[in-house]
Amino acid sequence: MGETITLTASDGFQLAAYLAEPAGAAKGRIVVVQEIFGVNVHIRAVCDGFAADGYRVVAPAMFDREERGVELGYQPDDIATGRAFKAKMDMDAAIRDVAAAAGQAAPGGKAGIVGYCWGGLVTYVAACRLGDSIACASSYYGGGTADYLNEKPSVPIIFHFGSEDQSIPLSQVEAIEKANPDATVYIYEGADHGFNCDHRGSYNAEAAAVARGRTLAFFDANIG
């Protein structure tokens, strides 16, 4: 089980975060960036899973700048609420909060970052802007990434997309791949948006397991 801690961003804003520690000495550090549903039971389980693999994990509460303690489910009303919060988010502020999480995860060092849904977009932008504190990045189905292709990652990055994700058509995936020739882009056949989340109807156990294995291997190679 993890614990809730407080982070302080570079502009002085304080936000909550979920911290999960490994049983022994950490072999590396990871920042987990939430979906639009807050640091909910699923994101905490993701953190606990990476901690069980030997990493020190921090998941910042990215919506704290709008409302404290946002923790949503996956019903239609939750989706609408999450989208409303996302629409209010400022990317510069989000990156400040990720930087604070990276500093907490790896004091004096670097951390890997992984994000899902909106967090996948934030992960991409963090890989572009936070090369001094982020060593590598794994982005899962980050909607809106194609809008940031004028920015280039300064650290190794991998992408995960579902072939059936109507919110991120394959034409956008191709544009992302073309703009990032050094990145690895994985497309999971038959998988939809949110395929990693076992609380969603779109959960795809096989795709989730393969993507997690690839992410762990990537982290082990770059920060483990």
Confidence label for 109 from pLDDT (cuts 50, 70 and 90): confident
> 196-207, pLDDT tens digit by residue?
999 999 999 999
Angle between helices 91-105 and 118-129 (to 10 degrees): 80
* pLDDT above 90: residue 107: no
CB 51 within 8 A of CB 21: yes
> 1-40, pLDDT tens digit by residue?
799 999 999 999 999 999 999 999 998 999 999 999 999 9
Pairing state between β 55-60 and 111-116: unpaired
pLDDT of residue 108: 63
Q: Give the catalytic positions in this structure.
A: 117, 165, 193
pLDDT of residue 224: 67
pLDDT of residue 12: 98
* Distance (Å) of CA 203 to CA 3, 81, 153, 196: 27, 21, 28, 6
* pLDDT above 90: residue 110: no
Angle subtended at Cα 185 by Cα 197 and Cα 179, rounded to the nearest 5 degrees? 125
Angle subtended at Cα 33 by Cα 84 and Cα 41, rounded to the nearest 5 degrees? 80
> 137-192, pLDDT tens digit by residue?
999 999 999 999 999 999 999 999 999 999 999 999 999 999 999 999 999 999 99
Q: Give the whole-number percent of the chain exceeding pLDDT 90.
A: 94
pLDDT, the chain, mean? 96
